[in-house]
Structure 1
Amino acid sequence: MNRTPLFLILSLAAACRRDPPQRPGAAAAHAPAAAAPAPAARPGAPPAASIDPPAAADAFRETGRFLPQGATLPGWSQSGAVRLVNGQELFQLIDGAGEKYISYGFRQLARTDYRKAGTELVVTAEVYDMGSPLGAFGQYSMLLSDSRDPASMRSRAVAHGGGGFLGTSQLVFWKGQYLVQLNLADDSGEQDESALASAAREVLPALASRLAGAIPGDVTPPAGARALPVEGLVWGGATYLSNGVLGLEQTGAGWVGHYEAAGNQRYRVAVMTRGSADEARALLQRFRVPGATALPGVGEEAFSTPTLAAARKGVTVVVVGAPAPEVLPPLAPEGRSERLRAIVTALP
């Protein structure tokens, strides 16, 4: 018996069957129930995934021992791991600037985050062990004066450790052999600079006080800073460079001061001391250019160029040069030579 017709009849009957009509507004019996709407997130509240649990107590070791643990300030708590970065590993974190830190004696960085409950504000705290107070002060002084007039930051000075400054969303200070950098960010992506600056003024000085109280060390600038003349030195004007004094490559280390003369004229003074008179003599010649004019009676040898006046007395080289940044009104060439003469004459 051929069963094909019967099979086709049954198949067509099943295909023609329809579910009974639904009552207006009623859900189909086999349809999944609609999910209840999720509660609305608080405005500005970070997603749960962005809040990391605090680090364990034993993570706060070595340089990290200075970082506050747990609930550090009202509404703020430590969040996530404590990262320790040693020596050359720093290049993996700050490739472009790593060499500068290494040149100042960098040993270790301890880094962690602090978050404010109910917001996406996060402070990244960094404590750098620079190996010596000279290294910490030197790197701090470079951050203060790099590409700007340090005197312009006077209104933003803070009294943490040996001194520091507060920018729009960053606070930097040094103490002993340690350099501290606190950076505030808003992970929500909303770039409200005014609100960020207001939050920075609230939290960064308070966190800096905690850190400054925990970090040991002297707050007096290194003894080498006394090589710079005091007269006319602007606020934050004492800078220690590990190399590249006055922009000249391979000079070795030296102190550079930023100065202001009468009439708002600006200039810089570099003082570099070497191990022997021969080393100092060779260094002086690095600043000489064709057409330099001799300056008789200034130290043991001296000359002037269109941009600077330089001299050597014993093992010390002194250079009076143009201001930085270059937009500042410069001291006239005659004034540079006179200032050089006065400084060199006062040297022992």
Structure 2
Amino acid sequence: MSKKSLILLVLLFPVLAFAENVEFPDVDGWQRDGDVKTYNRDNLFERIDGASEFYFSYAFEKLYVAEYKKGDAELTIEIYDQHDPVHAYGIYSMERPASADTKSIGLEGHYDDATLNFTTGKYYVKMNTYNVDDAGEALLMKVAQQMAPTLCKNPKLPAQYAAFPQENRVPHSQQYVSTNFMGLSMMGSAFRAKYTGSEGDFTLFIMHKKDKEAAAETMKKYQEFSQAETIGTKEGEYTINDPFNGTVYLLWKGNYLVGASGKVTSQEAFKLAEKAMNNLKPE
């Protein structure tokens, strides 16, 4: 097919509101207000000034925005490309209210006060309405259910989130902290979830390092920071007296560090860490 024929074919059969593999739907009774707007790392501040650095820390790549109108009513859809499912679910989880009534949209979503957010695949979608009856919940749910399969047909919870044992876990508490976990730069990123144990509430966390050597380096620096009398260099169980975070129990295997902090006994901590580690594949 010649270049001229290809151009003619595109003109005869236009694709509705697309940007790469991101498509915005037709919404019955609503009109698109202008073209789809796109943002990258160079101009994201124009859309979310003050919050762009937070999104960058979750591997932000692009943002696509479409706006709709129906008389005085407005509907806005934002689709954030966060590079991969780990980061997309991660930033969604950090912005999800603790009391959120989660819904089965894509991988997971929630509605709150004229806003519906959901995540699926590498995308984090934020939708909101203005001047719509009943805050537009029915409209947002319908459009979200229509969009989700076009972004990712079979979304799956990334392995690190799924590794947290279910017993005594606070529902929907899995999160991904992209940097400076526990306020310490040496720790890097970590997955975490809340639990209720015999002593009270505590946090179980998973640190996924690129290899065993990187995990060993983190362990070394953390022990030095905590002024341990001796620096352990072998895989196994560690009890760290962190001057900022209290007693931290850590299980090290391969490129994974699984630990617990808060109101938890060493027995509970290491038993749960072992269960989580068994759900992972240390290298």
Q: Please state which band the TM-score falls in when normalised by the shorter chain.
A: 0.7 to 0.9
Structure-2 separation of matches of 1:107 and 1:80: 23
**Which of 71, 77, 82 is matched with 1:130 structurally?**
82
**Aligned residue among 182, 187, 206 for 1:271:** 206
SS at match of 1:259: strand
Runs of 4+ with deviation above 4 angstroms: 285-294
Please name the residue that 2:268 is paired with: 339
Superposition CA RMSD, Å: 3.0
5 Å-filtered alignment, 1:147-166, equals: 150=98, 152-153=99-100, 156-166=101-111
TM-score by length of 1: 0.64
1:38 is aligned to: none
Residue type at the aligned position of 2:204 = V
User: Where does residue 246 of structure 2 map in the other structure?
Assistant: 307
Query: Contact 1:299–1:345 at 8 Å: present in 2 too?
Result: no
Q: State whether residues 260 and 273 of structure 2, in contact with CA within 8 Å, keep that contact through their aligned partners in structure 1.
A: no
Runs of at least 5 residues in structure 2 that lack an aligned partner in the other structure? 1-13, 279-283
CA contact (8 A) 2:237 2:270 kept: no
How many equivalent pairs are there?
A: 257
CA contact (8 A) 1:254 1:273 kept: yes
Offset at residue 67 of structure 1 (A) = 0.8
User: Which aligned pairs between 1:235-314 and structure 2 lie closer than 5 A?
Assistant: 235-261=171-197, 265-284=200-219, 299-305=236-242, 307-314=246-253
Write the deviation string for residues 40-89 of structure 1: whole angstroms up to 9, x where unpaired: xxxxxxxxxxxxxxxxx6672225742113xx13x433222210112332
Q: CA deviation at 1:285?
A: 5.2
* Number of the residue aligned with 1:327: none
Q: Distance in 2 between matches of 1:59 and 1:212?
A: 16
CA deviation after TM superposition for structure 1 residue 262, in Å: 5.1
Query: 1:311/1:110 Cα in 2 relative to 1: closer, same or farther (>3 Å)?
Result: same
**CA distance in structure 2 between the partners assigned to 1:262 and 1:62 by the alignment:** 51
For 2:172, what is the secondary structure of its paired residue? strand
Residue-by-residue CA offset, 1:163-182 (whole Å, 9 max, x unaligned)? 11111121111111111100
Distance 1:91 1:167 in 2: 25
2: CA distance between counterparts of 1:77 and 1:261? 52
In 2, distance between residues paired with 1:217 and 1:104? 22
Alpha carbons of structure 1 residues 78 and 170: separation in structure 2 relative to 1, 3 Å: same
Stretch of structure 1 that moved more, 243-252 or 131-140: 243-252
Q: Structure 1 pair 345/60, CA: closer, same or farther in 2 (3 Å)?
A: closer
1:167 equivalent in structure 2: 112
Q: Which has the larger radius of gyration?
A: 1
1:68-114 CA distance string (max 9 Å, x none):
13xx13x4332222101123321332132212222222222110112
Deviations 1:217-266 (A, max 9, x none): 43210122233232222221111222232343352222111222358x32
Task: Tell me which residue corresponds to 1:212.
Answer: 148
- Give the conservation status (yes or no) of the 8 Å contact 1:228–1:255: no
CA distance in 2, matches of 1:293, 1:310: 16
Distance of aligned partners of 1:251 and 1:218 in 2 relative to their CA distance in 1, 3 Å threshold: farther
Q: Is 2:23 the partner of 1:94?
A: no
Partner of residue 30, structure 2: 76
Judge conservation of contact 2:174–2:194 (CA < 8 Å) in 1.
Answer: yes
Q: Which residue does 2:7 correspond to in 1?
A: none
Displacement after TM superposition at 1:122 (Å): 1.3
Partner Cα separation in structure 2 for residue 200 and residue 284 of structure 1: 50
